Amino acid sequence: MTDQTPKKSTALDAFLNLLTLITLGWFSISLGRLLFVIIEKTVGDSKDNFFYMMGPNPFSWPIASLLIITPIFLAVSGLLHRQYKNGRLEKGAIYRWLTYFMLLVSSIIIIGDLIKLVDNLLSGDYKIDTILKILTVLVIAVCIFLYYLYDLKREDYTKRSLVAQIAFTTVIVMALASIVSGFLVADSPKLAREKKMDLERVNHLSQLSYSLEDFYRQNDGLPTDLSEKRYAYFVDPETKQLYEYRKISPNSYELCATFTHEASVPDGMTPYYPEPRGDGADWNFHTAGRECYERKIDTEPEGVVISKPAKSPIN
């Protein structure tokens, strides 16, 4: 008699378990990152280094990730459990190795997070945003640890599991609640676009400054205008016009740009150049409106240095 028992596919087992592990990790990171920026935006300091380093719109990547990765994670997990239920796969070595790996990672995160929490408290750091961030990581890690510990001991997949149903519902609720909260506190698409264009202007001014310095080194002087093809890339992202440029002397010049919003930078961050923030010395610390920056190229090999900031003329 031919054996009708379905063969256990090691390749399929590895594929589904690895995909589940990867999508779970992606989901956890995206959820944690979104909750971090929500905490920072609502009860924290929006000029904190963490918030600043995530760009002009820190909500876009985690929200987009959750919208895509959550249904994939739930679908792959459901498919894997149906394979166990129908007997097409069995919980073999691959499953145990990956599950113990997830338990190990979760344990390390939990231990490290508890140490961080106690260290902050002993150091007198009682800031609500710091505590909430630590608790966010702790809750996510504990939930993953407890579920995988339960699933490791689970033997019968033919019966509905209340724990699995609760976990499935929790993932959906947490993802939806975080996404909705993110949309509520995030900048509008128009504001995010304006901030992105301001950041692009800052990058253009920096690149243009380097390009002008190269021109000076090669020609022992500065160009009279920006009509050369090499400067065609440096245009305002909104108006598509070249940035204002004025040659002051053989080795000094002025660049002007119009920003929509004041730069959002960490309170602990200081300008690269020594002048105080807000006087036009460093375009990374720009204010809203038209600002001009007078710069002088040092004749020594050290490079560009800032002279006194130029004030915008009153129209």
Segment 181-234, tens digit of pLDDT: 988 887 777 887 888 888 889 889 988 988 888 888 888 889 888 888 888 888
162 vs 276: CA distance, rounded Å = 61
252 vs 227: CA distance, rounded Å = 18
Q: At what angle do helices 93-122 and 128-153 cross, to 10 degrees?
A: 160
Residue 52 has pLDDT above 80, yes or no: no
Residue 15 has pLDDT above 50, yes or no: yes
199 vs 201: CA distance, rounded Å = 5
What is the longest distance spanned by two Cα atoms in the chain? 97
- Find all residues with CB under 8 Å of 234, minimum gap 6, and list them: 204, 207, 208, 211, 226, 242, 243
Q: Which of 41, 32, 53, 167 is nearest to 113 (CA)?
A: 32
Q: How many other C-beta atoms are found inside a 10 Å radius of the C-beta of residue 148? A: 21
Are residues 215 and 223 in contact, defined by beta-carbon separation less than 8 angstroms?
yes
Q: What is the pLDDT of residue 166?
A: 92
Are residues 106 and 144 in contact, defined by beta-carbon separation less than 8 angstroms?
yes
245: β partners? 255
141 vs 40: CA distance, rounded Å = 20
Residue 1 has pLDDT above 60, yes or no: no
**What does the pLDDT average to over 48-59?**
58
Q: What is the pLDDT of residue 245?
A: 92
**What does the pLDDT average to over 28-46?**
83
Burial of 252 (0-12, 13-18, 19+ CB in 10 A): middle
Q: What is the pLDDT of residue 45?
A: 61
Q: What is the pLDDT of residue 271?
A: 41
Cα–Cα distances in Å, from 40 out to 31, 50, 58, 131, 237? 14, 9, 11, 12, 29
Residue 173 has pLDDT above 70, yes or no: yes
- The band of 159, judged by pLDDT with boundaries at 50, 70 and 90, is confident
Are residues 118 and 134 in contact, defined by beta-carbon separation less than 8 angstroms?
no
Q: Where are the domains of the chain?
A: 10-186, 191-306
Q: What is the pLDDT of residue 118?
A: 82
* pLDDT tens column, 274-295: 343 333 457 877 888 898 988 8
Q: Which of 301, 217, 295, 299 is nearest to 257 (CA)?
A: 295
Are residues 56 and 195 in contact, defined by beta-carbon separation less than 8 angstroms?
yes
Q: How many other C-beta atoms are found inside a 10 Å radius of the C-beta of residue 17? A: 22
Query: What is the dihedral sign for C-alpha 217, 220, 222, 223?
Result: negative
Q: Which of 273, 312, 315 is nearest to 292 (CA)?
A: 312
115: β partners? none
Higher-pLDDT residue of 257, 284: 257
Residue 157 has pLDDT above 90, yes or no: no
193: β partners? none
Q: Which of 63, 55, 70, 84 is nearest to 159 (CA)?
A: 84
Residue 281, CB-side half-sphere exposure with 13 Å CA sphere: 14
